[in-house]
Every structure is written in C-alpha cells, then in structure tokens.
C-alpha cells in the first residue's frame, strides 16, 4: 500500500475532500497495523469562519499553511484529538478533516484501544478514529507521503458521494463542505 503523492494533496481542498473518500488510511505502529477505508470528510477553507486558519497563521495552525500532504492533528474540546490532511499550496491555510473510516485491518487492536467491541463504534467519528488508529499529537506535521502514517490508493471507488453541511460547529455550519459515501454504515451521522 503505497502512499499517495504530494500532488494528490496539492489541489483544491474541496476536491481532495471528495476524492480521498474510498482511499485507505494506514498506520503502521509497533503494536501492529491498522487500516480503514475513508468514508466521511469535511473541508476547511481559509476564508471559512470554522477553519482554524480563518484569522491567520498561529503556532497551533501553522502546519495548515503547507506544505501539502502533512498531518494536522489538534486537541479539541479539552479531551479529543482530530486528524486532518493539509491541502493546497504553501501559504494557503486549508485542510480536510477525516471524520470517519470503515475499519478493515487491525480490528482487535482498534477494539483494545477504544475499549469497544462493536465494529460500528470503532471509527465512526473523528475522535474515535484517532483513538482506534493511535494517532497522537506527535503525528502533527507528519509527512503523509513517507513514514508510518499515510493514505493509500484503494481498488474500490465510492459509488455515490453525498454533500451536506458540517457537524459540530457553530460558525460556517451552513456551508456544504461535508462529504460521505452514500449508504456506508460507518459514517458518524446521517
């Protein structure tokens, strides 16, 4: 499972958010490998009030300003981490939040990390998938084109993609920047 090239991420964020659906999130860790099919994303654009880069560059969000193909991992609500892929060219603060994945490989490891048995409860939300995949703050700024955390091509492309508004935000909640694979039972919320 080869990593997607930088050229995949160095494109408009909304395009990456749609085209990363169906791809494989892979984490090769000392404990074992976890793999899941990306089934739900949200795009965060620099001019969008919900985007961490909306007010300019800070030490926290500086990774969003490039280069593309990096991980942006941040702590939210004082209790969860979220995983994003940085998009667009350098100087543009944008990213795609990976909201949910369909677990494929390493289910026992994911169950152990999450303390849950049901497969549907392992990765059906951004904080859940980060825990199941053991993605930590140390992965912030990680190059997704090399190393132990990456996104790989899949042989199964989504049949139909639904576009809707994002979840769990106040500002910019009306923007149609959430994407998911129609009929997939592993998305966070219909």
> Which homologous superfamily does the CATH classification assign to the domain defined by 6-181?
Methylpurine-DNA glycosylase (MPG) (3.10.300.10)
Find all residues with CB under 8 Å of 16, minimum gap 6, and list them: 8, 9, 43, 85, 87, 96
Segments in 5-133 forming alpha helices (H)? 6-9, 13-19, 107-114, 126-132
* pTM recorded for the entire structure: 0.95
Whether residue 180 is predicted with pLDDT greater than 90 in this model: the reply is yes
pLDDT, position 104: 97
Give the alpha-carbon dihedral of 54, 58, 63, 67, to 10 degrees.
80
Note the pLDDT of residue 76: 82
Category of 55 on φ-ψ map: left (φ > 0), alpha (ψ -120 to 50) or beta = alpha
pLDDT at 89: 92
What percent of the chain is modeled with pLDDT above 90? 83
Beta carbons of 70 and 143 less than 8 angstroms apart: yes
pLDDT tens-digit map of 102-135: 999 999 999 999 999 999 999 999 999 999 999 9
Summarize pLDDT for 156-174 with one digit per residue, the tens: 877 899 999 998 888 888 9
- Classified as helix, coil or strand, 65 is helix
Local structure of 41: helix, strand or coil: strand
The Cα–Cα gap between 95 and 45 comes to: 7
**pLDDT tens readout for residues 7-46:** 999 999 999 999 999 999 999 999 999 999 999 999 999 9
Other C-beta atoms lying within 10 Å of the C-beta of residue 183: 11
The DSSP 8-state label assigned to residue 158 in this structure reads -
pLDDT tens by residue, 60-103: 999 999 899 999 999 886 678 999 999 999 999 999 999 999 99
Bridging pattern class, strands 161-164 and 32-44: unpaired
Answer whether residue 6 shows pLDDT above 90.
yes
Residue ranges per domain, the chain? Answer: 6-181
Whole-angstrom distance, CA of residue 138 vs CA of residue 130: 12
């Amino acid at each position: 499972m080869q990593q997607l090239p930088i050229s995949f991420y160095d494109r408009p964020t909304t395009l990456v958010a749609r085209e990363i659906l169906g791809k494989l999130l892979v984490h090769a860790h000392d404990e074992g490998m976890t793999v899941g099919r990306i089934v739900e994303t949200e795009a965060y654009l620099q001019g969008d009030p919900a985007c961490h880069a909306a007010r300019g560059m800070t030490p926290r969000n500086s990774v969003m300003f490039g280069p593309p193909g990096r991980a942006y991992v941040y702590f939210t609500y004082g209790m969860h981490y979220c995983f994003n892929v940085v998009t667009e060219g350098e100087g543009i603060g944008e990213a795609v939040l990976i909201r949910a994945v369909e677990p494929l490989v390493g289910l026992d490891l994911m169950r152990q990390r999450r303390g849950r048995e049901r497969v549907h409860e392992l990765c059906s939300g951004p904080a859940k998938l980060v825990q199941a995949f053991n993605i930590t703050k140390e992965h912030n700024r990680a190059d997704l084109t090399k190393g132990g955390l990456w996104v790989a091509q899949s042989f199964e492309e989504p049949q139909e993609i639904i576009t809707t508004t994002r979840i769990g935000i106040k500002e910019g909640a009306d923007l149609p920047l959430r994407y998911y694979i129609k009929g997939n039972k592993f998305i966070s919320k219909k």
